[in-house]
A and B are shown apart, each in its own frame.
Chain A
Amino acid sequence: MVFAVGEIAQHSRPGNFVAIAVGGPNSSMILRRAFAIYRVNEKSATGGTLELVVAAHGSGSRWLSERSIGEKVDLVGPLGSSFGIPTESVNTLLVGGGYGSAPLFGLAEVLKSRLCRVDVVIGASTAGKIYAPLDGKRSVSTMTITTEDGSAGSRGKVTDFLPEIIERFNVEVVYSCGPMGMLKAVNEITEKFKIVHQCAVEESMACGIGVCMTCVIPLRGEDGIIRMSRSCIEGPVVDGSSVVWSAPRSIPGGTLGAS
């Protein structure tokens, strides 16, 4: 969906997200929904616009997807951190899982404009959960699609294909977004190859502005101390090597203040 947002567009970078109130003024859905920005157009016919990929799988996103053209919504943004863009031309690989791959296409365009080589791997459990628009291919050298059930592209997980692609294209920087389990698996590979990994994390979030402390992930700071850090402020884009990839639903040992 495309949103006319005026000046917000020119401040938006790949990896940033927006938070939208859903359900109208008497909504029983009291929290905003967070959406990664898919693409930005600073100078469309209607001024600055943002494009978001809205998968209508919950009542909030369904409400949003049912809005008609011209209707107004309450949107705040851009929020959070963005992907670091290399200052020189490097070989990059973008890895996306399911609908989480949306921000990669805007990122691919920016990287391409910096003369980077861009390869993409998009995976999901099944074909219906792949988000890979045809025009997204314009900015990329190769695009590999994987599904766990083999219903589209190659059968397997994205990580099954990464080592080969990294070696073949001499990849120097990996960007990823998608479920935490996938990001963790990608990070194991980037550590093995000793290459940079920037990932956009996903965690249940209430406020998006840093006050509620629900969306935390364990990050190791420059001082070596592990802290439960807010993915809405320190993230969503973080350095994969700074994340302490603990077992799900646990606090890693050694985290500041862990009991």
Chain B
Amino acid sequence: MIESAFDFRTRFGNRYFPNPIFTASGCAGSGRELSNFFDLKELGAIVTKSIAVKPRSGRATPRMAETPSGMLNSIGLQGPGIDQFLENDIPWLVSKGARIIVSISGETVEEYASLARRLRGIAGLSGVEVNISCPNVENRGLVFACDPIASRAVVELVRKNMGGDYPMIVKLSPDVTDIVAIAREVVSAGADALALINTVLGMVIDIEGMRPKLAGITGGLSGPAIRPIAIRAIYQVHSAMKNIPILGMGGVVSGRDALELIYAGASGVSVGTATFGNPTAALRIKSELEVLLRDKNFTSLEEAVGAAHD
């Protein structure tokens, strides 16, 4: 059988990736555990767990509650801090030949700037994801992505400090009244691309204990339950800004789901919660997506991006 030509590549800013299936930040650690199951080079890119300036213990447990077609998490950005991360994780990922997108998260605008400075000139990176939308922070006022002015401040400073070697992807929250307004602000402040969506703020009450199930009280909802919200956010933002690439995510568990996000306007698709149920989910989704696109006679991924729009 002769394989027909098919271009599965995708582009974010100045970087090409061989396929559009990435991990979602916080759902793949720094790749070590998943590398026991498959070759990380098979993925478009590994998006690392969001890294902070200093080590973070994260929140108390319980941190997890399963919900219908989804789950709540309340990790609170546990991690080793940027120093350990640059010393241990980046060289290891580089040695595996993985394409690396480093996700960063700060508590203040200055912390984002300092993280961006630390990443400047690090060899082997393919991009930075600026996570301004983690819901698991003590003070909801700190969710930069809920405020256009705060979002702009972070993105401008990161842009100034990280340089232009690789793309900046800014991750937004669906928990806002007008996501397009936030997206416009972030793009005009210098973002090359957007990541849509972070988890949705939610809560579960333990009816035996009569208290919130999670120690952190609220948590981020992920999984297929939030897919329609992701589709809506991606569709709205793509309608407003056709030229800004979107890394879509939100409850993708199959190639069919990935295609839905792509039709809505995503140029890439991150797999998150599906990995918890099956460590090799991302690879299965990648091959299912390629088969679907070929079956539908697309000759490239690019042709399918935003196909649901007029």
Interface residues, chain A, CB within 8 Å of chain B?
21, 28-32, 203-207, 209-217, 227-228, 233, 249-251, 255-259
B251 to A, closest residue via Cβ: A30
Instruction: Indicate which residue in A206, A215, A251 contacts B60 across the interface (CB closer than 8 Å).
Output: A251
Instruction: Report the Cα distance A214→B72, complex, angstroms.
Output: 10
Q: How far is the CB of A248 from chain B (nearest CB, A)?
A: 8
Q: How far is the CB of B103 from chain A (nearest CB, A)?
A: 14
Main secondary structure of the interface of A (DSSP, over half): loop
User: Are the C-beta atoms of A210 and B29 separated by less than 8 Å?
Assistant: yes
Q: Does B119 contact A (CB under 8 A)?
A: no
Q: Does B223 contact A (CB under 8 A)?
A: yes
User: Are the C-beta atoms of A31 and B66 separated by less than 8 Å?
Assistant: yes
User: Are the C-beta atoms of A209 and B62 separated by less than 8 Å?
Assistant: no
Stretch at the interface among B50-58, B155-163, B179-187: B50-58
User: Are the C-beta atoms of B58 and A213 separated by less than 8 Å?
Assistant: yes
Q: How far is the CB of B275 from chain A (nearest CB, A)?
A: 7
* Binary flags per residue of B32-76, CB closer than 8 Å to A gives 1, else 0: 011010000000000001000011111111111110111101010
A-side contacts of B190, CB under 8 Å: none
B64 to A, closest residue via Cβ: A214
Q: How far is the CB of A139 from chain B (nearest CB, A)?
A: 34
Q: Does B148 contact A (CB under 8 A)?
A: no
A32 to B, closest residue via Cβ: B277
User: Are the C-beta atoms of B27 and A257 separated by less than 8 Å?
Assistant: no
Q: Does B224 contact A (CB under 8 A)?
A: yes
Q: How far is the CB of B202 from chain A (nearest CB, A)?
A: 14
Instruction: Indicate which residue in A30, A214, A233 contacts B224 across the interface (CB closer than 8 Å).
Output: A30
Question: Provided the pairs A251-B57, A251-B59, A256-B57 are in contact, do residues A204 and B29 lie with their beta carbons within 8 angstroms?
Answer: no
Q: How far is the CB of B273 from chain A (nearest CB, A)?
A: 6
Q: Does B170 contact A (CB under 8 A)?
A: no
B-side contacts of A250, CB under 8 Å: 60, 215
Main secondary structure of the interface of B (DSSP, over half): loop
User: Are the C-beta atoms of A207 and B68 separated by less than 8 Å?
Assistant: no
For chain B, the bracket of interface size reads 35 or more
User: Are the C-beta atoms of B33 and A210 separated by less than 8 Å?
Assistant: yes
A-side contacts of B66, CB under 8 Å: 29-31, 206
Q: Does B78 contact A (CB under 8 A)?
A: yes
A-side contacts of B71, CB under 8 Å: 30-31, 206
A-side contacts of B68, CB under 8 Å: 28
A sample of 4 more A-B contacts (CB under 8 A), given A216-B61, A217-B61, A251-B59, is A30-B69, A30-B253, A209-B33, A216-B58
B-side contacts of A212, CB under 8 Å: 27, 64, 73, 75, 276
Instruction: Report the Cα distance A48→B66, complex, angstroms.
Output: 32
Q: Which 8 A-B pairs have the closest CB atoms?
A: A257-B55, A214-B64, A207-B276, A249-B215, A257-B57, A257-B56, A258-B57, A210-B33
| A-B contacts, CB under 8 A, total | 109
Q: Does B279 contact A (CB under 8 A)?
A: yes
A203 to B, closest residue via Cβ: B61
B-side contacts of A256, CB under 8 Å: 55, 57
Instruction: Report the Cα distance A207→B62, complex, angstroms.
Output: 14
Question: Provided the pairs A250-B60, A256-B57 are in contact, do residues A213 and B28 lie with their beta carbons within 8 angstroms?
Answer: no
A-side contacts of B36, CB under 8 Å: 209
What are 23 A-B contacts defined by CB distance under 8 Å? A30-B71, A30-B223, A30-B224, A30-B273, A30-B274, A31-B277, A204-B63, A206-B66, A206-B276, A207-B276, A207-B279, A209-B36, A210-B33, A211-B28, A212-B276, A213-B29, A213-B58, A214-B63, A216-B58, A227-B57, A256-B55, A257-B78, A259-B138
Instruction: Report the Cα distance A212→B274, complex, angstroms.
Output: 11
Instruction: Report the Cα distance A150→B203, complex, angstroms.
Output: 37
User: Are the C-beta atoms of B75 and A213 separated by less than 8 Å?
Assistant: yes
Q: Does B18 contact A (CB under 8 A)?
A: no
Q: Does B13 contact A (CB under 8 A)?
A: no
User: Are the C-beta atoms of B69 and A214 separated by less than 8 Å?
Assistant: no
User: Are the C-beta atoms of B34 and A211 separated by less than 8 Å?
Assistant: yes
Instruction: Report the Cα distance A204→B273, complex, angstroms.
Output: 15
A-side contacts of B61, CB under 8 Å: 203-204, 214-217, 249
Question: Provided the pairs A30-B223, A210-B29, A257-B81 are in contact, do residues A21 and B277 lie with their beta carbons within 8 angstroms?
Answer: yes
Instruction: Report the Cα distance A216→B215, complex, angstroms.
Output: 13
Instruction: Report the Cα distance A213→B279, complex, angstroms.
Output: 14
Instruction: Report the Cα distance A233→B63, complex, angstroms.
Output: 17
A58 to B, closest residue via Cβ: B66
User: Are the C-beta atoms of A30 and B57 separated by less than 8 Å?
Assistant: no
User: Are the C-beta atoms of B215 and A259 separated by less than 8 Å?
Assistant: no
Interface centre among B63, B224, B253, by most A CB within 10 Å?
B63
B212 to A, closest residue via Cβ: A249
B-side contacts of A32, CB under 8 Å: 277
B-side contacts of A257, CB under 8 Å: 54-58, 78-79, 81
Interface centre among B60, B73, B273, by most A CB within 10 Å?
B60
User: Are the C-beta atoms of A204 and B64 separated by less than 8 Å?
Assistant: yes
Question: Provided the pairs A21-B277, A31-B66 are in contact, do residues A214 and B81 lie with their beta carbons within 8 angstroms?
Answer: no
A-side contacts of B215, CB under 8 Å: 249-250
B-side contacts of A209, CB under 8 Å: 33, 36, 279
A-side contacts of B138, CB under 8 Å: 259
User: Are the C-beta atoms of A211 and B65 separated by less than 8 Å?
Assistant: no
B-side contacts of A259, CB under 8 Å: 56-57, 138
